[in-house]
């Protein structure tokens, strides 16, 4: 039976982890490579890096981090943030990333998703959709970390990226992100019901129960979380044991 | 010992290189190449594969003499070869991804899309799934039944001769996830991405 995945996400800015794990055993709390290794040793099913570096000039930094991490972590590694060109993807994959997550560039031009999945295979193309509720049962796609409204319906867009070869959808609720009040389960349910590719739930996790909701109520194939793991509130193992105790199948 | 990872521009093989490098440390000389001479003189071959069946076969065929060299190595001389993901699928006679495409024809069978039962199962089959060991396999030495391996694929290899199947995994139906025949090995899962247990599979192959 296919297991539900737990994916810790590390926000990386100019080569340093922002909101990192606060473990005493850490030699360097800002080192993304060391943190990724802790997660991977702790049973993370995948690792996700989100590069939130504002400028374009620093792209080499994330590539370098990926290169170092990939030599130490032997679970899938997804990298997102600022992926805009085939060259960006090539650089990340050659450095050892297994998947890239495309956000704004996919909204701007869905053909980019098609081109990328044709060139590299759907298995490594994740499309990150940031959605905000606009009315009852209606969500809109936003870009630039939730600042820019696009007028595009989230469900339509999810279907469109699937048609264009995306292998997975990383779905973040902009309403819930950072609130610790749980995933937007209705949004998740709507998107998982209208697409046939795996959906990764993101945005809003504050408790282990929220992970359960994302999988069981929302229908997500994987759950992504940042802060509950970073601050040491829970370890990956805690999350897995909790889910297992509630009959959600995970890799223990 | 010389082990060659065949680099035929089949997409992203960095993870394969990283994991084999990690396991091979100081014990095995690892080469990443499509050079025919080097392939011929190696002791073992790893054939990765990402993207579609068709794109992988096309890439293999675009390198002059490569297919014949691989066949001579694995089928005629029966030296150890490990195919990973599409690398395994290509052993088949025929594949149906993108377009009907002739495979290497090393193991009779076909590669077709996983029956997702009208959307009941999401495709690609992505994530960690348990392997059900069907027969003793040299690459599963010290690996427990129902170990978790990492999968990413939408197509499955269906061999005619079921005795080549060394493990299956359940996703919509029982999918072939590894094969062994003489010195020919293949895994549908990615040992290079399957954590410590995956590295053990690689270690077993390198120790053959």
Contact criterion met (CB < 8 Å) for A40 and B195: yes
Report yes or no: B27 and B2 within 8 Å, Cβ to Cβ: no
Residue A79 domain-assigned (yes or no): yes
- How confident is the model at residue A19, as a pLDDT? 63
The residue behind tokens 């060991």 is B133
Among A227, A236, A237, A205, which Cα is nearest to A218's? Answer: A205
Count of C-beta atoms within a 10 Å radius of residue B120 = 9
pLDDT for the residue numbered A20: 47
- As a whole number of angstroms, the distance between CA A63 and CA A82 comes to 12
Residue of B119, B128, B202 to mutate for A, most A C-beta atoms under 10 A: B128
Classify strands A16-18 and A5-13 as parallel, antiparallel or unpaired: antiparallel
Distance (Å) from the C-alpha of residue A91 to the closest C-alpha of chain B?
Answer: 10
| pLDDT greater than 80 at residue A44 | yes
Handedness of CA B34, B124, A239, A190 (dihedral sign): positive
A240 three-class SS: helix
Domains of chain B, first to last: 2-207 (3.40.50.880)
Q: Quick check: B98 pLDDT over 50?
A: yes
Residue indicated by tokens 């014949």: B68
Q: What is the distance in angstroms between the Cα of B110 and the nearest Cα belonging to chain A?
A: 20
The answer to whether residue A250 sits within a structural domain is: no
How many angstroms separate the CA atoms of B23 and A236, rounded?
A: 26
Give the model's pLDDT for residue A25.
53
- Least confident span in B2-11, B105-114, B178-187: B2-11
Number of domains in chain A: 1
Mean pLDDT throughout B110-134?
A: 95
CB atoms within 10 A of CB B180: 22
Contact indicator for A74, A40 with CB cutoff of 8 Å:
yes
Binning pLDDT at 50, 70 and 90, where does residue A14 land?
confident
Residue A95 has pLDDT above 90, yes or no: yes
pLDDT tier, A145 (very low <50, low <70, confident <90, very high otherwise): confident
- State how far the Cα of A73 lies from the Cα of A127, in Å rounded to an integer: 23
Of B38, B18, B76, B187, nearest to A71 by C-alpha is B18
B129/A2 CB distance under 8 A: yes
Residue A127 lies inside a defined structural domain of this protein: yes
CA distances from B53 to A190, B11, B50 (A): 33, 12, 8
Share the mean pLDDT of chain A: 92
Q: Is residue A170 part of a domain?
A: yes
For A199, the domain range is 5-245
- Residue B118, number of CB atoms within 10 A of its CB: 7
pLDDT reported for residue A233: 84
DSSP one-letter code for B145 = T
Residue A87 lies in a domain: yes
Contacts of A221 (CB under 8 A, 6+ apart): A2, A4, A5, A168, A198, A199, A200, A215, B122, B126, B127
Nearest to A68 by CA among A110, A32, A122, A39: A32
Chain B: give the shortest CA distance to residue A237, in Å. Answer: 15
Catalytic residues of A: 11, 130
Please state the rounded mean pLDDT for residues B14-21. 95
Inter-chain CB proximity B130 and A124 less than 8 Å: no
Contact A74 B129 (CB under 8 A): no
CATH number at residue A157: 3.20.20.70
Report CA-CA distances (Å) from B28 to A119, B19, B194, B202, B203: 32, 13, 21, 12, 10
- Round to whole Å and give the CA distance between B68 and B104: 10
Q: Give yes or no for residue A24 having a pLDDT over 70.
A: no
Lowest mean pLDDT among A9-13, A98-102, B41-45, B179-183: A9-13
In the annotation, is B56 catalytic? no
Quick check: A90 contacting B, CB < 8 Å? no
Name the residue with tokens 């509720």. Answer: A133
Rounded distance between C-alpha atoms, residue B134 and residue A156, angstroms: 43
Please report, rounded to a whole number, the percentage of residues in chain B having pLDDT higher than 90.
94
- Each residue of A48-70: pLDDT tens digit? 999 987 666 677 889 999 999 99
Contact (CB, 8 A) for B171 and B129: yes
Q: Residue A126: phi, psi to the nearest 5?
A: -105, 135
DSSP class of residue B194?
S
Distance CA A112, CA A79 (A): 17
pLDDT in tens, A192-241: 999 999 999 999 999 999 999 999 999 999 999 988 888 778 999 999 99
Tokens of A6: 């737990």
Residue A251 located in a structural domain: no
Least confident span in A14-23, A117-126, B196-205: A14-23
What residues of chain B lie within 8 A of the CB of A243, using their CB? Answer: none
- CB contact under 8 Å between A222 and B125, yes or no, is no
What local confidence, expressed as pLDDT, does residue A29 receive?
Answer: 66
How far is it, in rounded angstroms, from Cα B100 to Cα B156?
14
């Amino acid at each position: 039976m296919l297991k539900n995945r737990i994916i810790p996400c590390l926000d990386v800015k100019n080569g340093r982890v922002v909101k990192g794990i606060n473990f005493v055993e850490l030699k360097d709390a800002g080192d993304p490579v060391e943190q990724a290794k802790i997660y991977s040793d702790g049973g993370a099913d995948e690792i996700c890096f989100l590069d939130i570096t504002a400028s374009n000039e620093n792209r080499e930094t994330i590539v370098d981090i990926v290169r170092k991490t990939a030599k130490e972590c032997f679970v899938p590694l997804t990298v997102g943030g600022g992926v805009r060109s085939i060259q960006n993807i090539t650089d990340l994959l050659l450095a050892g990333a297994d998947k890239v997550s495309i956000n704004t560039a996919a909204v701007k031009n869905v053909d980019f998703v098609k081109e990328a999945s044709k060139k590299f295979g759907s298995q490594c193309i994740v499309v990150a959709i940031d959605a905000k509720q606009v009315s009852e049962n209606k969500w809109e796609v936003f870009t630039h970390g939730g600042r820019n409204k696009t007028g595009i319906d989230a469900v339509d867009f999810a279907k469109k990226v699937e048609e264009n070869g995306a292998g997975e959808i990383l779905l973040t609720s902009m309403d819930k992100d950072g609130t610790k009040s749980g995933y937007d389960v209705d949004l998740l349910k709507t998107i998982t019901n209208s697409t046939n590719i795996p959906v990764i739930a993101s945005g809003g996790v504050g408790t282990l129960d929220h992970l359960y909701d994302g999988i069981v109520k929302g229908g997500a194939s994987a759950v992504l979380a940042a802060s509950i793991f970073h601050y040491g509130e829970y370890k990956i193992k805690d999350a897995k044991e909790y889910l297992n105790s509630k009959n959600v199948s995970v890799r223990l | 010992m010389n082990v060659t990872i065949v680099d035929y521009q089949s997409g992203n093989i960095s993870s394969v290189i990283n994991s084999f490098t990690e396991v091979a440390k100081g014990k095995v000389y690892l080469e990443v190449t499509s050079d025919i001479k080097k392939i011929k003189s190696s002791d073992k071959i790893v054939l990765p594969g990402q993207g579609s069946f068709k794109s992988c076969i096309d890439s293999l065929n675009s390198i002059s003499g490569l297919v014949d060299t691989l066949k001579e190595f694995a089928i005629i001389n029966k030296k150890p070869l490990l195919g990973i993901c599409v690398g395994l699928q290509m052993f088949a006679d025929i594949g149906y991804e993108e377009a009907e495409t002739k495979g290497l024809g090393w193991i009779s069978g076909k590669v077709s899309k996983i029956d997702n039962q009208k959307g009941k199962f999401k495709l690609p089959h992505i994530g960690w799934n348990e392997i059900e060991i069907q027969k003793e396999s040299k690459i599963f030495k010290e690996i427990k039944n129902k170990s978790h391996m990492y999968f990413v694929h939408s197509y499955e290899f269906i061999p005619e001769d079921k005795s080549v199947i060394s493990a299956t995994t359940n996703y919509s139906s029982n999918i072939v996830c590894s094969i062994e025949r003489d010195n020919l090995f293949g895994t549908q899962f990615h040992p290079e991405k399957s954590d410590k247990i995956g590295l053990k599979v690689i270690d077993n192959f390198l120790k053959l």
